[in-house]
Amino acid sequence: MPKGYVILTESINDPAGMDAYSRAAGPSMAEGGASVLAVDGRPQLLEGEWHGDRTVVLEFESAEAARAWYESEAYGRAKPLRQAAADTNVVIITGSEQPSRGA
């Protein structure tokens, strides 16, 4: 089953509020099985426009697990803190399974 990824691009308006969000969201990420793959304040933009001051990439066992975390009660308690502190785009994408090299 392909992995699922949550990508957040955040335009932070209230750094202290985002710190509170991070403290509140961390336990829900652990419960949901998330791995933090990247947190970057300034990604290297190659083309087009990018939203926000920070980009976060989370990995889950599947897109379904990513959605379950996002819709969970635990994350639901943290989400309003982020929404109050930053303008955010959030997407879930499904990873691709690559054939093994020996196949």
Q: Alpha-carbon distance 65 to 79, whole Å?
A: 17
- For domain 4-94, give its CATH number from 3.40.50.300, 1.10.10.10, 1.20.140.10, 3.30.70.100: 3.30.70.100
73 in the Ramachandran plot: left (φ > 0), alpha (ψ -120 to 50) or beta?
Answer: alpha
Show the tokens assigned to 85. 């502190």
C-alpha 11, offset from chain centre: 14
The pTM of the whole model exceeds 0.85: yes
33-48 pLDDT, tens digit each: 999 999 998 888 999 9
Answer whether residue 30 shows pLDDT above 90.
yes
| Residue 103 scores a pLDDT above 60 | no
